Each structure stands twice: as structure tokens, then as C-alpha cells.
Amino acid sequence: YPEDLKPLAAPNGDGTASCFQVLIAGWEVINAYGELIDPQIQRALLEKQAHFKAGGDDEAMEVDEVFLKAMEHGFPPMAGQGMGIDRIVSLLTGQDNLRDVVLFPTMKPEHQAVKVVTKKEPVITEKVVVEVSPTPSMEPGVTREEAWVLVKDKCDWALQRHLVHVAASMEALAVHLGHEAQKDTWYITGLLHDIDWNDTINNPEDHCGPETMNYLKSKGVSEEICTAIQAHHQDAHPQPIDTDLKKALLAVDELSGFAVAVALLRPTKMEGMSPKSMVKKIKDKRFAAAVDRQHMKFCEDYFDLPVSEFLQILIPAWEKIASDWELKI
């Protein structure tokens, strides 16, 4: 492993760290390494980690002055290991999901106050404002073929590839969430969500702005789709994320783009891609560093689905379209 990824392991002097793992059936059950015992090297590594943490890396470490002080008094040569007992139990019991064997899993609040934006008068119940809006029309306003004409007119090939992967993700998620009757609307939302990217790349504040919305509406695209597209650029156009359509687009956008980046480096491209391999790449902050890792966790926030389970829904959809987009070449 690169020594930067193992800040507590002894460096080998060649940029790697002294460590090993024990794997059973592809599962890591033991992580072990020779301990770093040089306080000067340890301080430099922890200060580097603290710099990463200040830059937004929530998995990076802080500088531990108590630990460093103890190390300065002298550490003997040593090594250590950590065994994942929950993984051992999963293997022995044939469970694919660690959550099924964790004795005290993390729980989410059972009840939460919900506020849904509407034009109707609010109903006050126990000091919680519950507002109900009419069910919006989910007709897309254009066909898939008509949406593709717009995409091919305004987007280069690389952008088209991203759009079709997001569209496939949206369709798969629509079916999974029980919105199969609206899967055309979900597909077209994904297909058109970045249609102005090439035009606004130097002016990101204009991305999904009024000019783009007017353009889409002039082509017949529904208000529901336009609103969802604009909502996915929250930095410039903040608004309530109050429909499954909006939540889905935010949840699949970064993951779909990241998947293409991963596939392009694999010999088999999309074929045989696994959720586990994707999750490992997500944890590697140096790979596709520009991709927002927090955005790839929206599936947990909006649908209570861990990234690994969310990927089980999306990967088959990506594999179906891979041959059409040269990801198997």
C-alpha cells in the first residue's frame, strides 16, 4: 500500500508501507501492519492527514499530541492486527450483508418532522407544519427520441455518454422505487439534466439556469422535469428536494459519472463490475479526485440505501448499455 494511505504503518523507504491483510473468499478479515515507531515521521504523516481533513476529507486523521508524546519517550519494534469479527460471522453464517450480523446496528430516528412545500394552507398538528401539495403531472412532454435529438444537438460525445448512464440509472431506480409507470419521465430527466453543460462550462452559475429552463420548456419538456433538473444544481438554484424524482437525480448523478471513470480503467470495462470494487474506488480519494464523495452518499440520505446496495440496482443498468458506448472496447 502507498504509505500515505497507512499513516500508522512503518514506511518501507520506497513509498510503500509495511502491512498485509488476510482475505477469505475475497473478504478482508484481518488488517495488519508493522507499527511506525519514529516520532518525527509519525508527526509529519499526521500533519499531512490533518491538512486533508481541513480540506474536507472526513476519513482523514487529526494530529494526536498525546500519542506523539508517548512515542517520543520510545516505542519498541512491534506489529499488530485487527480482525473483523462481524465479517467472520457473516462468512460462517452465509450472510452477504454485514448489517444482518451486527449486534447493535446504527439506528435512525423512527419519527421525524416533515415539511413538504405547497401552495395550500398548512395544517398544524402538534407544532409540526405538514403541508400537502397536489400530485404533479408526471407526463414528460417529449418522447425519448425527441429528447435524444436535443442532446445530440447540444452535447459532445463524452457528455452524451454521461447523460445516457444517468438516464439508465434513473430508469432502473424508478422501477425499484415503484415508479415504473413514470419510467419515461425519470429516464428523460436523467438524459437532459446536463444538456447545457458544454455551453455553461466556463460559467457554472448559468448551469441549469433560466435560459436553459426556457429552452427545454420551448421544446415541450414538462415543468416537473425542468424543476428536477434545476434542483440538481443546488449551489446555484437552491430549492426543496421534496419529490422522489429530485432525490433520485441527486443520488445517481455523481455515482454514474464515477462508474464510467472506473470502467474505463478496467480490462472488462463495465462487464463484471461489482459494488465492492466501486466502493473501494470511492474510498481512494486520489482516484477521480474532482468527484464529490458526499454526493455519492445521497442514496443513504434520501432512500436509506447504503452505497453498496444502491450500486446493486444501478450496475445492471450500466452493463446493458455498455456495448453501445464503447466501454467494452
| Model confidence band, residue 326 (pLDDT cutoffs 50, 70, 90) | low
pLDDT greater than 50 at residue 327: no
| Model confidence band, residue 134 (pLDDT cutoffs 50, 70, 90) | very low
pLDDT greater than 50 at residue 322: yes
Mean pLDDT, the chain, rounded, equals 83
| Model confidence band, residue 130 (pLDDT cutoffs 50, 70, 90) | very low
C-alpha cell at 326: 464503447
User: Model confidence over 49-92: pLDDT tens digits?
Assistant: 888 777 767 677 888 888 888 888 888 889 988 887 888 888 89
| 254: phi then psi, degrees, rounded to nearest 5 | -65, -40
pLDDT of residue 176: 93
Cβ within 8 Å of residue 86, ≥6 positions away? 98, 101, 102
Partner residues linked to 28 by β-bridges = 23
